[in-house]
Amino acid sequence: MRYRVKAMKAGEGVVSLGFDARDVADARSQAKERGYAVLSVQGGAGLALPALKGRTRFPLLLFTQELLALLQSGISLVEAIETLAEKESRPDTRATLKSLLASLYEGKPFSAALQSVPATFPDLYIATVRASERTGDLPEALVRFVAYQTQLDVVRKKLVSASIYPAILIVFGGLVTLFLLGYVVPRFSHVYEDVGGDLPLVSRLLIQWGRIVEANGLLIAMLFIGGVIFVGWWLTRAATRGRILRALRTIPAMGERLRVYQLTRFYRTLGMLLSGGIPVVPALGMVSGLLDTELRVRLDGAQRAIREGKPMSIAMEANGLTTPVALRMLRVGERTGRMGEMLERIAVFYDEEMARWVDWFTKTFEPLLMALIGIIIGGIVVLMYLPIFELAGSIQ
């Protein structure tokens, strides 16, 4: 869950920070680890639905691409943001750009201006810009972030596109099943009212269900709609998602894939930060929010080992944050001094492997799902018509 922390630090004053954390205590802990004194913490918990919020999401990737194009054409940073603000038609986005301009007019660095806008710019983005201010090469930092975000979007789109067809099957299969149980079965119950005990047990239970639905249709519909809303709200809670992930990890093949997926995001983000000139220990602290609780504890152990002077590959291996391929590539990165580039190559390797696995999984899962839905719908239809078949047989 995303938490907004208002905190204070010497040299920066009062700032607003965003953290992906398990709870309020975890958000406070992450802020204190970075040297901030926490003033307040606000979370996203509640019954509010994202689709009903008035604010629109800031188009971070588009903003970065447009800013990069203007900077590469020779326009200064202030002029570039003024240009983006003038052409922007969305009120919320224009207000964010005006806030950035106000901070820049006051003489603040670009990273401080980004940090002054709450709930808009992630910590990784701010850290990348801050590192570029030391070298004076902001366009190069923006190029790295665009490449990083584009790769994440590619992986996310692959996962979403792979889940669309199964989701459609489940929705339409569920609707057909509800239509049968809520409309067709109650109509069939009248046909068999005089047959009584001569029906098979399963058919009698199905017809009894039809009578219950017919007598209490409005109440059942209200309970069903309420249940759907409750389940939707329940699934948005961070604790619920954590329990689902823990349950999935108990499945051997699925658990290992989830672990590799987390490590892939971890390697890619860490590689971007190291390539931007951020030291390894602060960079590890910035990316800890990408890992779940178990892996985050292991990352803390790796950070302590690196502070003690151990090589990164040894610290990662000792705390279970590597794979055989990643370990070898980390050692190569230590020998060549190009650790950031090597971490990004590890992420690319596992992205390709994940894409192959997702393709195999969908090709296997979709036919099984279709067969299951067909069995459920066909079973209901057969149970409805089974008494007719038996009556026809008895007449003969």
Contact 275, 341 (CB under 8 A): yes
- Report H helices in 75-184: 77-87, 91-105, 110-115, 123-135, 138-179
Task: Spell out the per-residue pLDDT of the chain, length 396, in tens.
Answer: 567 777 766 665 566 676 666 666 677 777 777 677 776 676 644 333 333 334 457 888 888 888 888 888 888 888 888 888 888 888 888 888 888 888 888 888 888 888 877 567 877 788 778 878 776 778 888 888 888 888 778 777 877 887 888 888 888 888 888 888 777 777 776 666 655 556 667 667 777 777 787 778 788 888 888 888 888 888 777 677 777 777 777 777 777 788 888 888 888 888 888 887 788 888 888 787 777 777 888 888 888 898 888 888 898 889 888 888 888 988 998 888 888 888 888 888 888 888 888 888 888 888 888 888 888 888 878 777 776 666 666 555
Q: How far apart are CA 317 and CA 330, in angstroms?
A: 10
Catalogue all structural domains in the chain, each as residue range(s) with its CATH number. Answer: 1-46 (3.10.20)
What residues contact 130, with CB distance under 8 A and at least 6 apart?
109, 111
Q: How far is it, in rounded angstroms, from Cα 115 to Cα 135?
A: 19
Instruction: Tell me the C-alpha distance between 303 and 270, whole Å.
Output: 13
**Measured between alpha carbons, how far is 1 from 342 in angstroms, rounded to an integer?**
30
Residues 6+ apart with CB under 8 A from 13: none
Alpha carbon 70 to chain centroid distance?
31
- What DSSP character marks residue 56? P
Q: What is the pLDDT of residue 12?
A: 59
Which residues does residue 257 pair with via DSSP β-bridges, in sequence order? none
Which parts of the chain are beta strand (E)? 2-9, 13-20, 37-43
Cβ contacts of 144-153, under 8 Å, gap ≥ 24: 144/272, 144/275, 144/276, 145/64, 145/272, 146/61, 146/64, 146/65, 146/68, 148/268, 148/269, 148/272, 149/60, 149/61, 149/64, 150/61, 151/268, 151/347, 151/348, 151/351, 152/265, 152/268, 153/61
Nearest to 207 by CA among 218, 219, 195: 195
Segments of 304-363 assigned E as strands:
none
The contacts found for 302-306 with CB under 8 angstroms, 24 or more apart, are 306/280, 306/281
Residue type, 19: F
For tokens 């920070």, the residue is: 17
Report the half-sphere exposure of 241 (CA within 13 A, side-chain side). 12
Taking a C-beta distance cutoff of 8 angstroms, is the pair 323, 257 a contact? no
C-alpha span between 376 and 177 (Å, rounded): 8
Residue whose entry in the numeric block shows the structure tokens 């038996």:
390
10 Å CB burial of residue 161 (0-12, 13-18, 19+) is exposed
The whole-angstrom distance between residue 27's C-alpha and the CA centroid of its chain comes to: 18
Confidence (pLDDT) at 8: 67
Residue count (the chain): 396
